[in-house]
Structure 1
Amino acid sequence: MRTQVCIIGGGPSGLLLSQVLHRAGIETVVLERRSREYVLGRIRAGVLEGGTVQMLRDADVGSRMARDGFPHSGTYVAARNRGFRVDFNALTGKDVMVYGQTEVTADLYAARDAMGGTVIHGVDGVTLQDVDSDTPHVTYELNGATHRIDCDWIAGCDGFHGVSRRTIPPSVLRTVERVYPFGWLGVLSRTRPAADELIYANHERGFALASMRNDRLSRYYIQAPVDDPLEKWSDTAFWDELRRRLPADVAEAMEIGPTIEKSIAPLRSFVAEPMRWGRLCLVGDAAHIVPPTGAKGLNLAVSDVHYLSEGLIQHYAGTPEGIDAYSARALARVWKATRFSWWFTTLMHRFPDDNAAFHLAMQEAEIDYLEHSTAAQTAMAENYVGLPF
């Protein structure tokens, strides 16, 4: 098989890249290890920056989002069981959109099907060959047979554990990582959201987040030891702990009910650079991970797609500068988002270290400053709604 761009990974970044390139007349093939049903069953982030919303609209996958998404013009920050609102629209003139990653992925699948896009599921043993030449190719196993795709470029959209990043020689690749000493225990419940916008809560017992997917589907998180067994957290134990950490008026009024999904996720900051080696370009979690505080993961992947698709379209039009600058352009935004996610995570969580008393005092001072400073709120709002692509 021959194509212009072979995309490794059929999550939202791989599907969006395929959609954008296809619309520009560039052939793609997407290889995905999991089944479509598995990909569509993953529960992920649901806050989209304005740049992400515009990318989806431009790719002709924004109609359902426009109908079913929830524009949010601000968010709540709480400490000591009371909160205040940061008004994104008043401070920056921009909003965010609450629309689940699962829905984005479903929209992208529908768009690829409508355009006859090639997405091959269930592949195994994916190997990237001759990446540092002008004639790379990819081999993979499917149904007991070995297949080969010759291509001009390879886009590694296969996540943190995928093969793409590992293909880059250790002598070339530089990685930076911070593993946080806690996780997020998250639940999904068919209940009315606790508030009209997200609530980020700092509490002496640990961080909490009240989020939502729609007006009858809520997503909640609490900080917990990453190695806690899930059986420790019955529904009753979770709801009791969540309500302890949220503002008192919210906790008293919130609706609770049976949870339909429950998991504990580790938190880390991770950046790999460069994001291009030879004819391989890394995208999204293959190159960078941020803690979910501030909802930057999917949005960073979309900004990578923006820079890479722009570079590839220019390349096929005879202008190589865009693809040559891909890594530097993408990483400049990645590091800024990593800084914001680190700042917000550090501000809102309890850290089990020797300087806990000092850390707590600094958090309280910072949150008080944030509540009363327009400049501080503007800086937070600019980063939360998304820096320009």
Structure 2
Amino acid sequence: MRTRTQVGIVGAGPAGLLLAQLLHRQGIDTVVLERQDEAYVRARVRAGVLEPGTVRALCDVGAGERMLRQGLVHGGFELRFAGRGHRIAMDELTGESITVYGQQEVVADLIDARRAAGADVEFEATVTEVAGTDTATPVIRYEQHGRTHELHCDWIAGCDGFHGVCRPPESPAYQRDYPFAWLGILASVPPSSDELIYARHDRGFAMHSMRSPTVSRFYLQVPPDTDLAEWPDERVWKELHLRLATDDGWRLAEGEVTERSVTGMRGFVSRTMRHGRLLLAGDAGHIVPPTGAKGLNLAVSDARLLGDALIRRYADGDEGPLDAYSDTCLRRVWRAQDFSQWMTGLLHRTEGAEFEQRAQLAQLAYVCHSKAASTMLAENYVGATGM
């Protein structure tokens, strides 16, 4: 089957869905192809910290109403080390706050907004090839429900993640693999804190996050080859108690663990986000360590930039923004990469002499007690870096 659209979008994550909504609202025809079924896409748990710019972007396309009602607005977060907590007051230092709202909820809202606007998503569509990207008529070949399809486009947006088919395998890139991973759990228990906690401990990093007033999210630093079978609930809670403990008697509430996973830590940046008529967005073009909460927010930033560039192209034939798309994206990506690497090093334990461990504690103390250092951290965390 042969069909045609103006912009073919591969991947129904935040980048692909936001881009589709931006273009659809300007009368630009789009088709969104997603390999998984809808139930899977709506359920997959990912990041949950939204920068102010991300919140505004979702509201601008009509996908922010539920987020504004249910999202948890945080004006700060806590750095915890040496048995004490230190609040980084983002609202006071930058005038901005973050919103805690799960990525799966963002995706669900964008799907619903697209349908409300009279469009839809092609689920269970497995893309097998992206061809002709160096021509004016690229094509996406995919299989859906036992049938083979060809989607002819003016432009292709590759929003299908690090393991998707859109990113050319021979494309040059920069990469760094970290010597640890995160064991993440979702638990049916009210948060034990009003704001996020990032904890540095001699046993390794720990984090207390949340998804709602009744659901909490936790992370533990573990080796990359960790087997989930070695981490029963009892061990998880014991380790969280140890790493999050404070001298003032703060207590962590336990609950039923409903999900667990191990996430590797890597930094990855493509040297270019554009390959002819194929433009990458989100994890297809870059991955950052999750410590700085930048992955989802970078994907949204990419989609906004790409959407604006394509709208300009169709409105008046101006290809300048498309020509600048890759360089513009990568400036912010490298800023986020640097921040995420710095914050990861600030909080994670690496094997080394006591000298390095003491220097890490000194740096944490400086960040917490210097207004200039705290402001730098807060500005980067809320995305107020002017990039």
Do these two structures clear the TM 0.5 threshold for a shared fold by scoring above it?
yes
Kept in 2: contact 1:194–1:250 (CA 8 A): no
Kept in 1: contact 2:85–2:246 (CA 8 A): no
Question: CA RMSD for the aligned pairs?
Answer: 1.3
Q: Deviations over 1:23-58 (max 9, x none)?
A: 111110001111011111111111000100000010
Q: 1:251 to 1:6 in 2, by over 3 A?
A: farther
Matched, 1:350 2:352: no
Alignment of 1:126-275 (within 5 A): 126-166=128-168, 170=170, 173-248=171-246, 252-275=250-273
1:96 positional shift: 0.5
Q: Which runs of 5+ in 2 are unaligned?
A: none
- State the distance in 2 between where 1:331 and 1:189 align: 36
Identity of aligned residues (%): 51
In structure 2, what is the equivalent of residue 376 of structure 1? Answer: 373
Tell me the TM-score normalized by structure 1.
0.96
- State the distance in 2 between where 1:200 and 1:122 align: 38
1:251 positional shift: 6.9
In structure 2, what is the equivalent of residue 290 of structure 1? Answer: 288
1:250 positional shift: 7.8
- State the distance in 2 between where 1:251 and 1:332 align: 44
- State the distance in 2 between where 1:358 and 1:320 align: 53
In structure 1, what is the equivalent of residue 109 of structure 2? Answer: 107
Matched, 1:116 2:118: yes
Further displaced range: 153-162 or 238-247: 238-247
In structure 2, what is the equivalent of residue 56 of structure 1? Answer: 58
Further displaced range: 271-280 or 110-119: 110-119
Kept in 1: contact 2:7–2:29 (CA 8 A): yes
1:198 positional shift: 0.3
Q: 3-state DSSP class of the match of 2:297?
A: helix
- State the distance in 2 between where 1:250 and 1:210 align: 17
Tell me the TM-score normalized by structure 2.
0.96
- State the distance in 2 between where 1:24 and 1:273 align: 30
- State the distance in 1 between where 2:327 and 2:248 align: 44
Letter in 2 for 1:224: V
Q: Deviations over 1:164-220 (max 9, x none)?
A: 1126xx3xx321111111111111111111210000000000000000001110000
Letter in 2 for 1:177: Q
Q: 3-state DSSP class of the match of 1:271?
A: strand
Matched, 1:300 2:298: yes
Q: Deviations over 1:252-292 (max 9, x none)?
A: 42210220001111111110120011000000000101111
Q: 3-state DSSP class of the match of 2:47?
A: coil
Instruction: Give 2:34's match in structure 1, choosing from 25, 32, 35.
Output: 32
Q: 1:375 to 1:252 in 2, by over 3 A?
A: closer
Q: 1:268 to 1:277 in 2, by over 3 A?
A: same
- State the distance in 2 between where 1:257 and 1:58 align: 37
Q: 1:185 to 1:379 in 2, by over 3 A?
A: same
In structure 2, what is the equivalent of residue 310 of structure 1? Answer: 308
Kept in 2: contact 1:126–1:141 (CA 8 A): yes
Deviating 4+ runs (over 3 angstroms): 249-252
- State the distance in 2 between where 1:296 and 1:85 align: 20
Equivalent residue pairs, number = 383
- State the distance in 2 between where 1:156 and 1:68 align: 30
Matched, 1:278 2:276: yes
In structure 1, what is the equivalent of residue 326 of structure 2? Answer: 327
Matched, 1:76 2:87: no
Letter in 2 for 1:97: T
Q: Which runs of 5+ in 1 are unaligned?
A: none
